[in-house]
Homo-oligomer: A and B are copies of this chain.
């Protein structure tokens, strides 16, 4: 993880489809060592994958909702079952384990408010061990980045 690796990672966070040649030029390397570094970063798990960034609205999911969840119990079985259930529901994009008054924070997408209501009734309420569900609707997105800041 020297300076060049950081440059490479940053360049690929900005444009994940950068060709190896362009990437090499951007970080002042010739293609072959550049490619080798990228492969190493992938193997080490620094780069975990690549993804196309997609407009939610265009895909039919204009609604973003943040859902705070508290569990009724926190024994291992309940927690594991909950987390497995979360993993299986596609509408839940992110799930963070939180400190403070909620246990989990979910980011959920929905085609509309009715769709979200159905999601809560049919999906969330189907999971055992949930004590409370707190919904916060997002009006809009001010910023959505995937580029981590420069270290230091």
Question: Are A16 and B66 touching (Cβ within 8 A)?
Answer: no
A window 126-150: CB within 8 A of B: 136-150
Q: With A90-B150, A109-B149, A149-B90 in contact, is A52–B50 under 8 Å at CB?
A: yes
Cα A151 to Cα B57 in complex, Å, equals 11
Which of A44, A48, A52, A104 has its CB near the most chain B CB atoms (within 10 A)? A52
Cα A151 to Cα B83 in complex, Å, equals 24
Cα A150 to Cα B60 in complex, Å, equals 9
Cα A143 to Cα B107 in complex, Å, equals 10
A window 40-71: CB within 8 A of B: 44-56, 58-61, 64, 66
Give the size of the chain A interface in residues (CB under 8 angstroms): 63
Given contacts A47-B54, A86-B142, 13 further A-B contacts (CB under 8 A): A9-B54, A17-B50, A48-B53, A50-B52, A51-B146, A54-B148, A60-B151, A66-B96, A87-B142, A87-B143, A92-B143, A93-B146, A94-B141
Q: Which 9 A-B pairs have the closest CB atoms?
A: A12-B52, A90-B149, A16-B50, A95-B142, A95-B143, A96-B138, A97-B139, A17-B50, A46-B58
